[in-house]
Chains A and B, each alone.
Chain A
Amino acid sequence: MTEGAGLISSVTSPPVADRGGSTPARGTKFHGLSDARLLEIFKTMYTIRRFEVTMERAHLAGDLYGPFHSSMGQEAIPAGVCAALRTSDVVTSTHRGHGHAIAKGAELGPICAELWGRATGYCGGKGGSMHIVSTEHGFIGQSPIIGGSGLLATGAALSFDLRGDPLVAVAFLGDGAVGQGVFHETLNLAAIWRLPAVFVVENNGYAHSFRADEMQLNPDIASRAEGYGIPGVVVDGIDVFSVYAAAETAVERARAGDGPTLIEAKCYRWRGHNLGDAEHLYRDRREVEEARRNDPLHRFRQAVSGRLELAALAGIEAAVDKEIDDAARFAAESPFADPRTALEGSF
């Protein structure tokens, strides 16, 4: 694995092109977050981790079906970004979207039920793992068509702009999306119209078996922002505080009408591309083990030690474990999707 392909864990880099956005406050480790907010952020990260672990087991046990893309190891990115958002702000996502839905506030029961194909799922079983939507929480859609999430958020930002709503749209994208022509169009359009959008590329080092540095000679995705005249920021996606700081700056800038920001969050995809992926064909177990030592949850615990009681974190963990078990039970006990609804809802 070469440098730049996902293992980087340096502190927040300064923006490559900074036109009006301010560098995330450095030095202040917690960026002014209160104890309660810190605990909330931890809860989000831990919930995503626990959710992915539990669902993966359920899938292996045959309770779930369909493709499954785990976001384990990337928890700090949705947690940090969504902590900078309001409920009415919107988020769009990718095939690897469970964490984004959770961080935006969607409820665990209906998310689980959707993965389980049950009538009580957010989409009544029509969507599945790659198509969770909860408009109530501003989670307006995953696009597993690579690159699709960017324009969805751009259009949402356009609608906020047209109506004068003080809202922001955030798109999560994978590093693989950068290869799509639509990535270029997305950034350019959002830039020239100064739309209230933030583009967060989760550079987890791989697009399926493809290393990010095999798909682009310039491994710094954020540096592309310069070409569009917008700020581009590289953050350590393992460090939730760096992510939060960059997101907060970008969201403020967007809300103020100063246009979009491209954030590249470097991280590492802990699991195979999907469940059942033949990972051994393209990466070494040792590389994965090495990367997993850089655990966002562990980093958080280290960072807050001395400030927060570890007992408080343990309390959150216990509560989340129970919430996830309850959500899984809710899903498992829910009725199957109702065939009578199959033909409804197109038009």
Chain B
Amino acid sequence: MREITFIEAVREAQAEALASDDRVFIMGQEIGSYGGVFRATQDFVRRFGGHRVRDMPIAEQSMLGAGVGAAVTGMRPIVEVMFMDFVACGMDAIVNHAAKMRYMSGDQLRAPMVIRTQGGSGTHHGSQHSQTLESWFLHVPGLAVAVPSTPQDVKGLFKTSVELEHPVLFVEHRALYRTTGPVPDPVAPIPLGQGVVRRRGEDVTVAAVGKSVHQALAAALEMEEEGVSVEVIDLRTLVPMDVEIVLESLSRTHRLVVAHEAVERGGWAGELVARVVAEGFDELDAPPLRAGSKATPIPFARELEAAMISDERLIARRIRESLDLAEYSE
């Protein structure tokens, strides 16, 4: 199988969508002849033309809002928001328009669009360029949220997303861009709402998405040395959320840790935990725990970030806490 990087997968996924469907076009800043600040659209203008790969002024409201307008009139826009933090500038288009068009119109209008963005910590971009905000969107009916962790999932989830009849928020962690993984040719579409077990284990289940999946796997290795067997589940999408796969796992491990880089308070882990408690209470031998970041903005300096961000050390600590091997600490 071919090994490609995560960012190559993003590029291929978009190129395939542009090549196979005339209705697909892309809007974003620096995506044209510059090829995207992360190279997600490199060479696209030459291959697909500037009318389909459209450079934007710095105007998030416009690209998201016009994206909705184009989507309800038969196009399938991909809108790239350069940093996830900037979705805040175009929130109205996503929350009040894209998410609601279909429902409000009695299914006369549909807004099939993919909003691609990247975020996360680790590059010391400071508080306004490092956030993990996908949890915001779970609260808005009408939006799907995909958070891939591997190149293959990028391609499989994107293929599905671009063909759906509703908007999908497609969230990438930039720390993954240079990671590599095998991809079959062609990649089969991956349905939204279908998690996958990344590692089998018996003692504790860790559920995660995106970069946190890799950190959960690292924590699992660490715990293995301590004689603890950890199962790692990659949910792949948050809306819809595969609660079933988590419940199935819990029927064997009976302990759950949910890991995400997003701030723990109000993060999507709370939603999963609530569902698990409601539907699988009898399976639980310990309170489900969350491994999220501390409730502060992301600081610039390395030492400060390390003190608040969710990482493999925190996940390992939560696993121990769940097994009563350590005292719970906030």
- State the A residues within 8 Å of B (CB): 65-67, 114, 117-118, 123, 125-131, 143-147, 176-177, 179-182, 207-210, 214-216, 278, 281-282, 336-343, 345-346
Instruction: Give Cα distance in the complex from A295 to B85, angstroms.
Output: 36
- State the B residues within 8 Å of A (CB): 29-30, 33-35, 37, 55, 57-62, 85-86, 88-89, 123-129, 294-297, 299-308
Instruction: Give Cα distance in the complex from A27 to B64, angstroms.
Output: 49
B127, A131: Cβ atoms closer than 8 Å: yes
Q: Given the complex, which residues of A lie within 8 Å of B301, measured CB to CB? A: 117-118, 125-126, 128, 336-337
B34, A282: Cβ atoms closer than 8 Å: yes
Instruction: Give Cα distance in the complex from A339 to B33, angstroms.
Output: 42
A339, B307: Cβ atoms closer than 8 Å: yes
Chain B minimum-CB-distance residue to A121: B301
- Using A125-B300, A336-B303 as known contacts, say yes or no to A181 and B61 having CB atoms under 8 A apart: yes
Q: Given the complex, which residues of B lie within 8 Å of A146, measured CB to CB? A: 58
Chain B minimum-CB-distance residue to A66: B124
A66, B300: Cβ atoms closer than 8 Å: yes
A179, B303: Cβ atoms closer than 8 Å: no
> Sorted from nearest, which 10 A-B pairs have the closest CB atoms?
A128-B300, A179-B57, A125-B301, A117-B301, A342-B307, A337-B301, A66-B124, A339-B307, A209-B34, A342-B304
A343, B58: Cβ atoms closer than 8 Å: no
The contact of B296 among A67, A179, A210, A342, by CB within 8 Å, is A342
Q: Given the complex, which residues of A lie within 8 Å of B129, measured CB to CB? A: 67, 130, 144
Q: Given the complex, which residues of B lie within 8 Å of A147, measured CB to CB? A: 58, 89
B123, A209: Cβ atoms closer than 8 Å: no
Instruction: Give Cα distance in the complex from A171 to B58, angstroms.
Output: 18
Instruction: Give Cα distance in the complex from A346 to B263, angstroms.
Output: 13
B300, A127: Cβ atoms closer than 8 Å: yes
Other A-B pairs beyond A130-B129, A179-B58, 13, CB < 8 Å: A65-B124, A66-B123, A66-B126, A125-B304, A126-B300, A126-B304, A147-B58, A180-B58, A180-B60, A182-B89, A339-B306, A342-B304, A343-B308
A-B contact pairs, 19 of them (CB 8 A): A65-B124, A67-B129, A117-B302, A123-B300, A125-B299, A125-B303, A126-B301, A129-B126, A129-B300, A131-B300, A144-B128, A208-B37, A209-B33, A281-B35, A339-B303, A340-B307, A342-B304, A342-B307, A342-B308
Q: Given the complex, which residues of A lie within 8 Å of B34, measured CB to CB? A: 208-209, 278, 281-282
Q: Given the complex, which residues of B lie within 8 Å of A131, measured CB to CB? A: 126-128, 300
A177, B58: Cβ atoms closer than 8 Å: yes
Q: Given the complex, which residues of B lie within 8 Å of A126, measured CB to CB? A: 127, 297, 299-301, 304
Chain B minimum-CB-distance residue to A336: B303
Chain A minimum-CB-distance residue to B304: A342
Chain A minimum-CB-distance residue to B296: A346
Chain A minimum-CB-distance residue to B65: A181
Chain A minimum-CB-distance residue to B82: A208
Q: How many Å from the CB of B43 to the closest CB on chain A? A: 11
Instruction: Give Cα distance in the complex from A209 to B58, angstroms.
Output: 12
Q: How many Å from the CB of B243 to the closest CB on chain A? A: 32
- Using A176-B57, A181-B59, A210-B55 as known contacts, say yes or no to A145 and B299 having CB atoms under 8 A apart: no
B58, A207: Cβ atoms closer than 8 Å: yes
Instruction: Give Cα distance in the complex from A145 to B131, angstroms.
Output: 13
